[in-house]
Structure 1
C-alpha cells in the first residue's frame, strides 16, 4: 500500500485551490500586542474624557417655551410619562448633593464626614469617574447614600443630539451597574442651575430625559464651593433661609475640595442642632428608592466594562512606570556615554599615551568569504595596500559565484586562498586561524575595506600583554542613501560613544566582525570561534572577558563596510544580530556569579549589555507610543516639548560622537527622521527576536546581497611585506 500523503484541508485552502498563507506567529504576535495596547490606550482616553468630550457651555437662551410652573417651581422636575411637575423639599429637610465625582482624594473624605455625623446625601457621578473608581461608588451605596447620573463625559447636553444623549445615559448606567450593581432614576444635567434658569435649549432635553424615566434634579441652594471662597462663605451660602427645605449643590471632585470638607464638618452638626435633617432625595420626598438592583446580562456587561477600564488604568500606570524607567535609563546612558567617551578620547590622545613598544611583527588577516564576488577584490586590494606587514588568508566558504577564482586571478603576493565546503563563518574563521602563520590575527568581513593604516592601528594595543582582543572602528561606506545615512549615524554613535564607554568600564561586549584583532593564545584558550550563536563576534568577546583578557577599542583602526541598502536586508541583518546577542547573553549567563578579575564582565558588562542592548530598546517604543497618544489626546504642547527634549539630547550626543570621529555634521540632518522611522524598525526587529527566543524558534544565517559599492580608501599604498624568515611558519591545511 502506498504511503498516505496529507492534503491541505478546507480550512487551509483558498477559494482558488491554492494553500492559504498564514501570518507567521513572529509577526502575528507583535500585531496583536500593538492592537491590544492601542485599544487599551483608547479606552483610557475614553474614560479620562479625552475622547468624545464636549465641554462647551451654551449662552443664555429665551424661556418662552418653558412652562411657567417649571420656572417658578421646585428643584425636582418630573417629566415622566408626559407630566410637567416640580417638587420642593419639605421644611427643615436638606438634601446635600455632590457633583462630578467620585474623586479618589476628596470623595472618601466627604463620605467620612457624612458617616461621622450620620447624614445621607446624593452623589451625581460621571461615567468616567465611576469607571475609574468603582470602589467609591460601591461605598456610597453600601453606606446608604443615593447615586444619580451626571452623564458619562460631562458635556453640555443642549448641544447634543438625542443619540448622543442616549449614549451618555446608557454608558453612565453601564458604569454604575458594573461598579455597584444598580440602576438609578435620578439625573442632573451638567452645568445646570436653578429651575428658574431653564430655557428653550435645556427644556427639550429635560423633557426627553424624563421620557426615559428619569427625575431631573437641579438645586435651589448653591454653595459655590467650586470658587473656593472660604469655609465661612461656603457655610453661609449652603444654609437654607427661614427653615425651608433645600437641595444644596456641592462638589466632591474637580479640584481642591478641602474647604468643602471643612465646611461640611462644621455645617452638619450646626444645622442638626437647629432641627434640620439630612436625608436622601427619595427619603425627603417620601418616594420609593431611586435605586434598582441590576441582574443577569446587564450586570455582566457592567462588570466586564469595569474590568476592562481597570485593566486599561493598570496598563497605563505600568506604561508610565516603564516610560519613567526608560527615560531614566536613556538619560543616564547618554550622560555616562558623554562622560566616559570624553575621558577615553582624552586618555588615548595624550601625547605621552602608549600601549608600550610599537608592535611591528607581521599579522595574519583572515577574510571569510561566501559569495563575495562583487566585493572581494576591493577588500583584498585594500589589505595589500596596508602599511603594516600582513599575510592575507581568504577562506572561501563554499562560494558558488567564483569568489576564490577572483582572488587567485589577482596574483597578489602574501595572499592565499583556502577553500572549504560551506560550513559557516565560525568554521571558516577557525580554518583561517589554523592556517595563519602569525600570532596576531585580524578578522574582517568580505565586504569590508581597510585604510592603509588600519592593521597597524589595530594591533598596537597588543603591546600590553593583558590585551587579548581589539575592536576597530567600523564605518558605513555606502552612506549616500537615506538608509545608509541612518546607519552611518548609528555606527558613529555606537563606536565613538558606546565602545569608548565600554572600554573605560572594561566590559566591551563585541569585537565587530568587520574589524577586530585577536591574540592567538587568547583564541586558543577559549576554544576559538563558536557556532553556538548567530553572533559569533559577541560570543567570542564575552568568552575572552570571562577568561581574564582585556578587550579594548582602537579609534583610528578604521574599516569601511557595506551596510544593507534595503529595508528587507537591514531587517535580516539586525534580526540576526539581536537574536545572536540574546543567545550570547544566555550562553554566558554564569558570568554573573563568577568571582575574581574574570568576574568583572559578569558584574558590570553582562548587566550593562542586557539592560542597554536588549531590555531598554524593547521598552523604548513607549516614548513613541506616548508621543502619539499625547498628540491625539493631549496635552499636545507638553508632549511635543518632551519629545523635542529627548531629540535634543540625542542630537547633542550624536554631534559629540561625530566630532570625536571627525565626521561631517551634515548627515545629522536626517536624525529626526531616523528617530521617527528607523528606530521603529529596530524596535520591531528586537521584538521579533524576543518572540523567536521565547517561542523556541530557530533562526538561520541570512546572507545579505552585496553590491561592491565600497571602494578601497587611500589607494596606491604599497603592499605590506612579510619577513622571509617567518613566511612559511605554518603550513596550509
Structure 2
C-alpha cells in the first residue's frame, strides 16, 4: 500500500527576499537610467561643440571661378538681391545713404559696445547673425531688435554654403530662424552668405544657392564698401576704406564678432560723425528697399510688410524692420526650447570643465600617492629586521562558506590539504542544491583530511554562513575564504603571522586572478594586481584599510564577536566588518605574501553583477558607518583618513572619471585631435608606469600590460556604468541577496606557487 506524501505548504517569502525581489525588478530601469545620464552628458557636449562651430565650419573661399551663367545685370547691380516674382533683381543704395551692416555676431564683448555707439548716435544697423551665436547669447539679440535694429541670417555655423548640399543649406537657414524665434520672437527674410563681398564676386557655384534661397523668399545682401576691419589695419584706414566715394550711397560692412574688434569700436564713432558731417543718413536694409521707388509696390516677395518702427527719427535714422516676421506657434516654442537647451549646455560645459580639472588632479594625486606609499610599504615590510613578533604556530580555523560550489569545492579542499600551517576546515553549506556538501565530504575522505567539518544550513546568505562558521570554530584565529578560491601551501602561515601583534584584529591577503587566460580575465588581473599592490599598501601604511577581501582574510575570533559578527545590513559584509573593526579599536593590516587564487567572472554579465554588488555594498557600508567621521581617539582614524579617501577615490572620482573620456572625445572631434590624443596617451603612460610598478612588486609577468590600452577603452567604461548604476540604486534603495556567479572550477594553484 502506498501513501501519498502530504503536500508541503509553500513558505511565505521573508522580508529580505521580498526586498531582494523588489531590488532585482528595479535593476533594469536603473541600468537604463545610468545609460541615459551618460547619453545626456554626451548630448550636451555635442551641442556645445556644434554651437561653437568647431566642427562643420568651412572657411574655404573660391576665387576666379567662371561667372558666365550669372546674369550681367546681377554682377553689375546693387548690393541687395531679390527674386520678386521669380525674377532676379538688384537694388542699389540711394545717394547720401548708408546701410550700416555688421557680420558674425552676436558677441558678448563687442556687440553690446557696437549697440551702445549706435544708440548714442541714433543710428540703426543691420546685423547678420550666426545662428549658433544667437542661441548662445539670446539677450543681446533681443536688445538689438528692441532698439530698432534689423537682423539677417549669416548661417548657423558660418559655413560656405556653395560647398554644401541642398539639405545642409536648408538646415543652416532653418536652425538660424529657430534661434531667432527663441531669442527675439521673430524670423527674418534677410541673408548674407559668409565670405561674400560685392555682387560681382558671385560665381557659378554660389549662384544656385542664391537662387534657391530667393525661391524661399530670402533677400541676399552684399556690400558696396568693405571696412576690412577684420584685418585690424588701424582706425584711420578702417574709416577711410568704409567711406563711399563721390557721395554715393553704400551698404557698408563692419564686424561685431569673429575676433578682436577694439579697432572697430574705436573707428565706428569717427565714421558715423564723418558721414553725418558729409550729409549722409543711415538706414536699415529694409529702409533701402522701401526707398527704392521702383520696387516699393512689389516688396512682398522679398521683404514686404509695413515697417515696425515707424518713420525715421529726426530725419537722420530710418529704423525700418520690414524684413522681420513675428514667430508664432510651434516655431516659437521650438525656438525657446533650443535657447533653453543651449543655456543648459553653456552652463554645463564650464561646470564639467571644472569637474574635469578636479577629477584630473585627484586622479594624478592618487597615482602619485599610491606610488610613493607603496614603495615605502614595500621597503618597510622587506627589511631584514621587520617582524610582527613571535612566530604564530598555533592552529587556526578556516571557514569556507559554500553555495552550489560543486565545480570548485574539491579544488579548494585540495589546496587546504597542502597547508604548512595547522588548520581545521569548516565548510558551511548554505542550502546548496547541487550536492556541494556531499562532494566536500567525498573530497575530504579522498584526501585523507580528518580536520574537515561540513555544516549544512538552510539558505540564509553568506553573512549567516560565515557567522555559523565563526560560532563553530575551535580556535581563536579564523581564516575566511570563498568556496571558489584556492590557497598556496604557505598562504595560511603567512596570513596569520601579523596576529603576533596583539593589536591586530584582521589581516587582508593578496587575491589573484587564476583564470587570466581570457580577455576579461586579463583585464581583471591587471585591476587586481594594481589594487592589491598599490591601493592596499597605501591604506595599510595609513592604517585605514577599508576592506578585508572575502577571498582571503583572517580575523581574531574575539574581535569578530565583539563587533557583532558578519552583518546582513549591506551587500559588502567584508567592508562592513572591516570598518567595524577599525571603530572598535582593532588594527587591520595587509599581508602581501599570503596569496589566494580566485576565479574571476567569465562573462560581462557576471562581471556586472559582481561589481554592482561590490560597489553598491561599499556605499551601504560607508553610509552605515558615516558616524565614524566624528569618532575620537585612535579608533577614529578610519573616519578621519580612510572614509574620505574611500569616498573620494572609490566613489566620487570614478563616478566623474567619465568626464575625462567625454572631454577627450570632445577635444578630438571639436578642438585639436592631435593634442587630445597626446593628452590621452600621456594619462595612459602614467597608468602604465603605475601598473608596471605594481607588477614588479608582485613579481608578475609584464606581458599582460599589453592589454591595458584596450582595458582603458572598454573595461573601464563598463566599470563606470556599474558605479553609476550603484549610485542610482543608492538613491532609490533596495537590497539584493547573496548573488551566486557561475563557476567553472578551472582555477587551481599555479605550478611553482607552492615552492
User: Which stretch of structure 1 is more off in the superposition, 270-279 or 479-488?
Assistant: 270-279
Q: 1:711 to 1:210 in 2, by over 3 A?
A: closer
Q: Distance in 2 between matches of 1:687 and 1:597?
A: 34
| Aligned residue number for residue 452 of structure 1 | 489
Match of 2:518 among 476, 481, 488: 481
| Aligned residue number for residue 231 of structure 1 | 235
1:639 offset after TM fit, Å? 2.6
> What aligned pairs does 1:91-130 form with structure 2 within 5 A after superposition?
91-130=95-134
> What aligned pairs does 1:614-629 form with structure 2 within 5 A after superposition?
614-629=651-666
SS in 2 for 1:192: coil
Q: 1:612 to 1:79 in 2, by over 3 A?
A: same
User: Which stretch of structure 1 is more off in the superposition, 137-146 or 269-278?
Assistant: 269-278
Match of 1:405 among 425, 437, 441: 441
Q: Distance in 1 between matches of 2:218 and 2:460?
A: 80
Deviations 1:370-412 (A, max 9, x none): 2323322322232232223323222232333124423442331
> What aligned pairs does 1:90-489 form with structure 2 within 5 A after superposition?
90-283=94-287, 287=291, 288=307, 289=321, 290-400=323-433, 401=435, 402-409=438-445, 410-489=447-526
Q: 1:491 to 1:367 in 2, by over 3 A?
A: same
Deviations 1:400-443 (A, max 9, x none): 31244234423314333333333222122222222222222221
Q: Distance in 2 between matches of 1:104 and 1:505?
A: 51
| Aligned residue number for residue 719 of structure 2 | 682
User: Which stretch of structure 1 is more off in the superposition, 83-92 or 578-587?
Assistant: 83-92
| Structure 1 gaps, min length 5 | 1-20, 719-733
Match of 1:67 among 67, 71, 80: 71
Q: 1:708 to 1:303 in 2, by over 3 A?
A: same
Deviations 1:282-331 (A, max 9, x none): 34565542222223333222222222333333343443333333222222
Deviations 1:83-141 (A, max 9, x none): 44433334443332211111223222322333344432211001121122212211211
1:472 offset after TM fit, Å? 0.9
| Aligned residue number for residue 620 of structure 2 | 583
Q: 1:539 to 1:225 in 2, by over 3 A?
A: same
User: Which stretch of structure 1 is more off in the superposition, 179-188 or 265-274?
Assistant: 265-274
SS in 2 for 1:234: helix
Q: Distance in 1 between matches of 2:269 and 2:81?
A: 30
Q: 1:596 to 1:220 in 2, by over 3 A?
A: same
SS in 2 for 1:391: strand
Q: Is the 8 A contact 2:444 2:450 kept in 1?
A: no
Q: Distance in 2 between matches of 1:539 and 1:151?
A: 60
| Aligned residue number for residue 86 of structure 1 | 90
Q: Is the 8 A contact 1:366 1:442 kept in 2?
A: yes
Q: Distance in 2 between matches of 1:513 and 1:443?
A: 7
Q: 1:266 to 1:333 in 2, by over 3 A?
A: farther
| Aligned residue number for residue 37 of structure 2 | 33
1:486 offset after TM fit, Å? 0.9
1:346 offset after TM fit, Å? 1.7
* TM-score normalised according to structure 2 size: 0.87
Q: Distance in 2 between matches of 1:182 and 1:529?
A: 68
| Aligned residue number for residue 672 of structure 1 | 709
SS in 1 for 2:537: helix
Q: Is the 8 A contact 1:396 1:403 kept in 2?
A: no
| Structure 2 gaps, min length 5 | 1-24, 292-306, 308-320
Deviations 1:519-573 (A, max 9, x none): 2232122111111111110000011111122211111111111112222222221
Q: Distance in 1 between matches of 2:272 and 2:501?
A: 84
Deviations 1:214-233 (A, max 9, x none): 32211111111222223333
Q: 1:199 to 1:571 in 2, by over 3 A?
A: closer
Q: 1:75 to 1:226 in 2, by over 3 A?
A: same
1:462 offset after TM fit, Å? 2.1
RMSD over aligned CA atoms reads 2.6
1:178 offset after TM fit, Å? 1.2
Q: Distance in 2 between matches of 1:183 and 1:208?
A: 18
User: Which stretch of structure 1 is more off in the superposition, 237-246 or 212-221?
Assistant: 237-246
Q: Is the 8 A contact 2:81 2:91 kept in 1?
A: yes
Q: Is the 8 A contact 1:386 1:717 kept in 2?
A: no
| Aligned residue number for residue 527 of structure 2 | 490
SS in 1 for 2:588: strand
Q: 1:168 to 1:418 in 2, by over 3 A?
A: closer
* TM-score normalised according to structure 1 size: 0.89
SS in 2 for 1:577: helix
Q: Distance in 2 between matches of 1:351 and 1:503?
A: 19
Q: Is the 8 A contact 1:372 1:403 kept in 2?
A: no
Q: Is the 8 A contact 2:129 2:151 kept in 1?
A: yes
Q: 1:535 to 1:22 in 2, by over 3 A?
A: closer
Q: 1:68 to 1:359 in 2, by over 3 A?
A: same
Q: Is the 8 A contact 1:382 1:713 kept in 2?
A: no
Q: Is the 8 A contact 1:692 1:698 kept in 2?
A: no
SS in 1 for 2:520: helix
1:692 offset after TM fit, Å? 2.7
1:42 offset after TM fit, Å? 4.0
Q: Is the 8 A contact 2:399 2:425 kept in 1?
A: yes
Q: Is the 8 A contact 1:58 1:158 kept in 2?
A: no
1:713 offset after TM fit, Å? 5.0
Q: Is the 8 A contact 1:77 1:86 kept in 2?
A: yes
Q: 1:715 to 1:658 in 2, by over 3 A?
A: closer
Q: Distance in 1 between matches of 2:383 and 2:208?
A: 84
